[in-house]
Amino acid sequence: MIFPCARWLRSSSSGRLPIALEGALKLKEISSIHAEGYPAAEMKHGPIALISEDCPSVFFAPSGEILNKLISSMQEIKARKGLIIAIITERVALPAGLADEIIVIPECHEAVLPIVASIPVQLLSYCIAVERGCDVDKPRNLAKSVTVE
């Protein structure tokens, strides 16, 4: 299911924030959709105002000590009728009905987890762009290389 929305929020723990930021950047670049990446702990400091049925939130929620905090943030979004796409590792069991879509990635060493997690983030952005009819090989207003004069 690809959500035809104009805004997306991507969230993760602060230690894995680069995954959320990369996903938001890729979505902006190839599909021209506004997206923000932010730490889940900061949801109440602004991004919660954007939660609606029209603004999906993507959560990167691997197993670990902060999983319960991420689940709490997801419940806040659900309480506001927000849509949730969860990228989880194999050992994570989310409460039933919490996520609208779940993408499962394999458990792996902490050092390679950001690489493994980036694959579904990139693929999701690609699929959204293709469904919207965007040219993923020539993104609008984006230079493929930087030139210096």
Active site residues: 144
Q: 75: number of CA atoms within 13 Å, CB side?
A: 9
Cα 50 off chain centre by: 15
Phi, psi torsion values for 129, nearest 5 degrees: -65, -45
